[in-house]
Amino acid sequence: AQSVTQLGSHVSVSEGALVLLRCNYSSSVPPYLFWYVQYPNQGLQLLLKYTTGATLVKGINGFEAEFKKSETSFHLTKPSAHMSDAAEYFCAVIGQGSQGNLIFGKGTKLSVKP
Amino acid sequence: GAGVSQSPSNKVTEKGKDVELRCDPISGHTALYWYRQSLGQGLEFLIYFQGNSAPDKSGLPSDRFSAERTGGSVSTLTIQRTQQEDSAVYLCASSRGLDADTQYFGPGTRLTVL
C-alpha cells in the first residue's frame, strides 16, 4: 500500500527566501509522484509530477522537485518565495498499476512574510 | 476549455437528510474521481469511475454513500441520512484515464451538516 508523509504542517518563510517542503513516500511498486497546490477556497491545481525519466522535475510558478529513490523522497523547492506562493501544498502518490486514485499527504500550509 | 465544475458550491443540511452533489468533468475525460477533504482526515479518496467499467468503491466510508455516473459524463454523489461527521469539502476530479494522467480538480462542494 502507498502512503505519503509530509513533514511540517506549517512552514513560514520570508519573501525571497528558499522554500523547501518535504515529502516522503512509501510504495511497494515504482511510484508516480505529484505536488498539488490549493489556494484558499479553491480546488487543487497540479504543480508538477514525476512519472519516469529525469528525476528533477520542473513545474509551474518556479517550483521544482527531485525524486530520490534511495531516500524515498520527493521534496518541493523554490529558490525565492513570493507572497503569492502562500497556499497549502499536498504531496501525492499513485502506485504503478493501481486504479489511479491519488493518496495524499496531510498537506503543508506555506506562509510568506513580507 | 471548461474545467471541472461542481454544484452546489455550498450545501447546508440537517442531520438525517439526504444530499446530492453533482460533478461535470472535462469533456472527453473518461476517468472521474471523488475525494473528501476534512480537517481531521485530510484528503481521502472515495470512488473512481473509468469508462464503462464497474466503479472502484473501495474508499466509500459507509453504505450511506453512493455515486453514479450517467452516460460516461456527469456524476452524482449521494449521501443518505447525513451525519455531522459527513461535513467536509467534496472534491471531484477527472482525467483522460491513462496511467498517471493529471487529475484536474473542481472547486468542490462544501457540505455542512447541522
Counting as low any pLDDT under 50, the low residues of chain A are none
Average pLDDT value for chain B: 92
Model pLDDT, residue A31:
86
B97 CB-contact burial (10 Å; exposed 0-12 / middle 13-18 / buried 19+)? middle
How much of chain B exceeds pLDDT 90, in percent? 75
**Are B56 and A51 within 8 A, CB to CB?**
no
Residues of chain A positioned with their CB less than 8 A from the CB of B95: 100
pLDDT at B99 over 80: no
Give CA torsion, residues B22, B71, B69, A101, to 10 deg: -110
Per the document, the length of chain B is 114
Considering only CB atoms, A51 lies closest to which of B50, B100, B106, namely B100
Q: Is B74 on the interface with A (CB under 8 A)?
A: no
- Quote the cell numbers at residue A4: 505519503
CB proximity under 8 Å: A 63-102 to B: 90, 92, 94, 96, 99-102
- Which pLDDT score is estimated for A96? 61
Note the pLDDT of residue A58.
96
Over range B49-75, report the average pLDDT: 90
pLDDT of residue B93: 96
Out of A41, A43, A107, the one facing B105 most closely (by C-beta) is: A43
All 3 cell numbers of residue B45?
A: 479518496
Nearest CA in chain A to B97: A100
| Residue in A42, A49, A90 closest to B43 by CB | A90
pLDDT reported for residue B10 = 97
- Predicted confidence (pLDDT) at residue B57 exceeds the cutoff of 90: no
